[in-house]
């Protein structure tokens, strides 16, 4: 069994909160170690950097590299998130609030791990989910799902179904990015901006700035379904 790893994007000495950035990536026929240079991992580098810039030195931002690629039935990315949360608690303290930000299968992991005690918010970008996976008790959490309407890999209808179920216990917003595809390269500034704005707002109480800021403010004000 290989091991998960954490990579620092920002690690201030006294952060007010922690952000864990979670990558996606398809499974392989046999377990394979995650490479720092695989495309699904590299796609999260600018998102982590965007969050760190928006936080202005007040948040620790770490990228999680999973134990193996894809979603293994015996050891899933959710297990890696739980490991990362223990590492974060040991390093920065147990009382810091945490936001999970994930793409594709990382978005799925962010939602399924959002019930863990230190987590106060989660962002799922183009999450690859099953429609029934919204049956979670996320009381007290704030959740943002963002999905491009031109995603041919992860179905927006599935993430919308999950959002509706999650809204029974959590504060949930769902933003559709017009023309957005799975890799988030098209309209990347909107995907990145939504993640950074929601993260800094829920962890620091800071008003979001830049692309997607208006949508984040509307979600925080109680609007559930938005198009950008």
Secondary structure in 3-state letters for 87-114: HHHHHHCCCCCEEEEEECHHHHHHHHCC
Task: Calculate the dihedral angle through the C-alpha atoms of 186, 175, 202, 25, rounding to the nearest 10 degrees.
Answer: -50
Angle between helices 213-220 and 188-204 (to 10 degrees): 40
Q: Give the pLDDT confidence score for residue 28 in this predicted structure.
A: 62
What is the average pLDDT across 96-108?
97
Residue 77 tokens read as 């990315």
Q: Is the pTM of this model over 0.85?
A: yes
Confidence of residue 52 (pLDDT cuts 50, 70, 90): very high
Higher-confidence residue of 40 and 87: namely: 87
DSSP 194-207: HHHHHHHHHHH-PP
């Amino acid at each position: 069994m290989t091991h998960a790893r954490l990579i620092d994007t920002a690690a201030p000495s006294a952060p007010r909160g922690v952000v864990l950035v979670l990558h996606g990536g398809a499974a392989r026929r046999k377990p394979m170690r995650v490479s720092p240079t695989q495309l699904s991992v590299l796609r999260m580098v600018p998102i982590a950097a965007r969050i760190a810039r928006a936080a202005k030195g007040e948040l620790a931002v770490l990228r999680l590299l999973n134990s193996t690629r894809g979603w293994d039935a015996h050891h899933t990315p959710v297990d890696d998130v739980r490991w990362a949360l223990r590492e974060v608690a040991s390093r920065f303290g147990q009382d810091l609030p945490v936001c999970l930000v994930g793409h594709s299968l990382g978005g799925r992991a962010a939602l399924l791990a959002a019930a863990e005690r230190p987590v106060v918010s989660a962002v799922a970008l183009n999450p690859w989910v099953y429609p029934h996976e919204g049956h979670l008790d996320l009381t007290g959490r704030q959740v943002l799902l963002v999905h491009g309407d031109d995603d041919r890999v992860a179905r927006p209808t599935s993430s919308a179904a999950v959002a509706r179920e999650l809204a029974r216990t959590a504060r949930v917003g769902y933003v559709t990015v017009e023309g957005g595809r799975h890799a988030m390269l098209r309209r990347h500034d909107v995907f990145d901006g939504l993640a950074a704005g929601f993260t800094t707002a829920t962890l620091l109480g800071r008003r979001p700035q830049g692309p997607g800021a208006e949508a984040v403010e509307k979600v925080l004000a109680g609007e559930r379904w938005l198009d950008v």
